[in-house]
Each structure stands twice: as structure tokens, then as C-alpha cells.
Chain A
């Protein structure tokens, strides 16, 4: 046995109600392995570092190419996707924790429902259904499409909410991700027709105003989405919207 071993310290939790505990694992190193392949190795042979048989570690995954957002967890203190966390680039022992801003389901698996609820709340879609064919919508300039594409890269992974000091159990802040989606759909030539509805939705409690400008979100976003620029732009839009709401507007 002269194989190189990789050491993991994993924060585990048996169910949403029980207390979390740490468990250490040592698994044989393979070239180019990522955190997910290491977790798969533990699942194949669920024995901890002390040599005791244990339950396999639970986690979530989907695309394995950093576009679905399901496998987010806190790796060595920073929230990120475990699929693109390469073991050779991480300091050992590698510490894995669930993103505790969200309810923990089991071990590293969390429930991100609040993000999807927030997307519904801010109406992050373009309503085009009608009783008859509405015909083609207005064209979107190519330069604007390229810009909007960056905002559309959001995969609802939850990293920005985990990093935000204002998203916590004391506050009902929906977090940066759904706000930036409002900017995306408001920028679309057809989506723009329902701009006011979305702006009013984020001017509700727990919306845009809860942002405290710590700007951790933009530093943490794995997709490099300009979240704080979106938030500041929405601050400007809602300033005008607030005046329109209060004083009335002839459009």
C-alpha cells in the first residue's frame, strides 16, 4: 500500500432535525479527480478514516460541468460547485460542508426551494401566452443579446446567497440571484413590456432594499455574473418606479 491518500473532513447530518457532526475519510488518490469522484469513491466503500463502516455521504449532482448548480457546497470555507473543485488544486485535508444558509436535507444535500420560490415571486419569465397568435416580438439588438447572455448564465446554485451577510435566518432577503434575473427579463424587448410588475415585486419586503452592498455575491459567483451591477441598475430603476408609483405617471 504505497498509494497516495486524499483526506476529507466532511460535515454530516443524518436528517434536517439532528445535529451536524464531522467525519473523516481517506481515499486513494487518482489523477484529475474532483470532489464528486471522491464522494463517489466514499459511496462505493463507505468506511471512514478510522476504518469503521459508515453510511455513504449524501450529496446532490446533475450536469457535472458547472451549469446546473445542484452540486454546490462549501469546500475549504468557500461555496462553489463540487464538480469543478479539482482535488489536486485544493489544500488538504479537504473540508466539505453543506451551504447552511439553506435547510440541510442530509449531509451535503440542501433544499434550494427558496430560490425557485423567489424566481416565481419576481416573475422571472416572459409572458407570451394569449388566446390568439401575437406574432413575432420586437427584435433584440445583437450587442444587447450578448450582454444579456451573461446574466442568463445564472444556474440558481445558491453560492451568492450563501456568501451574502444579509441572507440569513433574521432576514427575508431573497438574495442577489433572483434580482439579477429581474434585470435580465426587463432587458428583453418582450419582457420589458412587464417591467413594472417585476420592479414592484422586488420593491416588496425582502426584496432589493435588503441589499447591504457587501458585494460578496459578485466575488463569489462561479459564472462571473455582474450581480452588484444588476443590483445598482435595479436601484436606479426602482428609484424612478417609486416616484411613478407615488406621484402617478402619464407614461
Chain B
């Protein structure tokens, strides 16, 4: 084996968060951004994604299994920590806490989001612009989607920072600082994309 169970699981957890989950997240947000153009553009894009060949295999190996592992192991990591931000209010320690909080929020959001869209599609509903406009017709759901999507985007961007550290790409304090700015740039960029998309359905 390459290392102990913990070592391999942690590294796989970190890798899966970026490849494929992070890549899927970016792709998903970009495709959804067609909604800012008009309903037809969104429907065409959704239809294209829906009709990709080998869809169930793509979904299983690029989305379902990686997210399932990342979520289960992530919860284990989250509940192992004893957060101490009140005593050690340093920037990275706060990010450590926020990473865990946004991870749990993202998991709750994704579970609901998958139920509302993918599971409903499997049960015969059609995933299109009006489905999303319908979901986002209540102020509560708008707030839920905003919190959920921004949590996911933050968790990805800050997770990218830890991925660079965990795999040994950013070692020096300076490289980690630059990486903080870059990944927070990723957060802001993806936040703009996703918020614009959500408001396009309203």
C-alpha cells in the first residue's frame, strides 16, 4: 500500500474535492449561467447535458461516487476537530472552521438539490428553466439556494488552497499566501457566476 488507511483516505478526499468534484462544480455553474441569457438558451444547454452519451456512467463515476466518499469522510474529519477559534482567532484557523461549516451546509444543500432535480427527473419530471423558476418562486428557497451555492463555492475555493498544501504544491509561507489570494479570487469569480444564475430564474 502507498501509506496507511488514514493517509490514503485523506489524500483521496483532498484529490476528489478538486478532481472530479471541483471540475464538475465549475462546469455545472458555467452551463447554468446560460439562464442569464434566456430560458431557451438554458433549456438547450440542459438538454445537451441531459443527452450526453453514457450519462449514467458519467454521473456515477464523476459525480455520485466521488461526492459520496468526499461527504462521508468529510463528516468524519469535521467531527474529529475541536474548533478553538474563540481562543485562537487567527485567519487560517477561522478558514479551518468555515471550511467545515460550509462543507456541512453544502452536503445538506446538495442532498436537497439532488432530490429536487435529479431524483424528480428520474421520476419523470422535466428539468428545464420553468422547473428552476418554480423552485425559486419562494423567498425561503432563494435564500436556501444562495446560502447553499455560496457555501459550495467557498468550500471548493478554500479546499483548493488546502489541496495545494496537502499534496505539497505550496510549501513556503509566501506561496501559501499567494495561493490564498488566488483561491479567494476563484471564490469571488464563481460567486458572481452563481448568484447571477440564481437571480436569472427569479
Which residue of B3, B9, B96 contacts A214 across the interface (Cβ within 8 Å)? B96
Interface contact A209-B80, CB-CB below 8 Å: no
Q: Does A84 contact B (CB under 8 A)?
A: no
The residue in B5, B8, B84, B162 that gathers the most chain A C-beta atoms within 10 A of its C-beta is: B84
- Give the interface size class of chain B: 35 or more
Q: Does A237 contact B (CB under 8 A)?
A: yes
Q: Does B82 contact A (CB under 8 A)?
A: yes
Residues of B51-88 contacting chain A, CB below 8 A: 77, 79-84, 87-88
Which residue of A78, A163, A200, A239 contacts B168 across the interface (Cβ within 8 Å)? A239
Which A residue sits closest to B170, measured CB to CB?
A: A232
Q: Does A205 contact B (CB under 8 A)?
A: yes
- For A206, list chain B residues within 8 Å (CB): 6
Contact with B along A209-241 (1 / 0, CB 8 A): 110111110011000001011011111111101
- For B7, list chain A residues within 8 Å (CB): 203-205, 207-209, 238, 242
Interface contact B6-A236, CB-CB below 8 Å: no
Query: CA A19 – CA B93 in complex, angstroms?
Result: 30
- For A209, list chain B residues within 8 Å (CB): 3-4, 6-7, 9-11, 166
Query: CA A25 – CA B78 in complex, angstroms?
Result: 40
Contact with A along B134-157 (1 / 0, CB 8 A): 000000000000000000000000
Interface contact A245-B168, CB-CB below 8 Å: no
Q: A204-B7, A214-B90 are in contact. List 6 more A-B contacts (CB 8 A).
A: A170-B80, A203-B7, A212-B162, A234-B168, A242-B2, A245-B3
